[in-house]
Amino acid sequence: MEDPGAVTFNAPGTYTVTFTVTDALGLADPTPDTRVITVVANQAPNGVIDSPAGNVTVTAGQSVTFAGTGATQTGTCLSPICGISAAGAPNRVVEDPGAVTFNTPGTYTVTFTVTDALGLADPTPDARVITVVANQAPNGVIDSPAGNVTVAVGQSVTFAGRGATRKATCLSPTYGPSAAARRTRRWRIRARSRSTRRGPTR
């Protein structure tokens, strides 16, 4: 036919394609036009994890943001031909899955695999090790006063404290002087007179 359209070459090699024209009397073109088609073997794609830059340790319930770059012989990687996978977290069949939450303590190997349009996968997929540790109880310290104090009625005592958690330092309203209007704060000041009657808790 005159216009054969797309012709697929499945095996690597060098092919000479000839276009021959023959008239109704059987006389052929003595110098048919040709093209040389060189077919190279498909090369495996390569995937790189851009974020995080290295292995990460997080607390259970926290997330890690993932992003990757996938290069194939024909161009950059586009979904759905690349993605990340990790035991304990849903697989994401996208190049940049974003934040992935790890809820259970343990060690997870996250793999970024790129597969090209011909089904050839990256033989050495990039990986990150995510270590998820159990959350630990915070620790609060009273800085002021340094010890127990005795004062006269009407005098005041200045209080200061700090709270440390695994994730960050403690900020109000998660701790602070106890008051009826701020039930979430944890300072408790109890007053007792010389009588046996107990004063209100502030």
Question: pLDDT per residue over 155-193, tens digit each?
Answer: 898 989 888 776 554 544 444 544 333 333 455 555 554
Question: pLDDT per residue over 49-67, tens digit each?
Answer: 999 999 999 999 999 998 8
DSSP 8-state assignment for residue 43: P
CATH number of 46-133: 2.60.40.650
pLDDT score of 20 more than 50: yes
DSSP per-residue codes, 96-113? --EEEE--S-EEEEEEEE
Please, where in the chain does CATH 2.60.40.650 lie? 46-133
pLDDT score recorded for residue 13: 93
Which phi and psi (to 5°) does residue 96 adopt?
-125, 90
Q: How many CB atoms lie within 10 A of CB 46?
A: 17
For 144, 155, 156, 157, 192, the CA distances from 152, given in Å and listed in that order, are: 18, 6, 9, 10, 12
Please report which confidence band the pLDDT of residue 10 belongs to, taking 50, 70 and 90 as the band edges.
confident
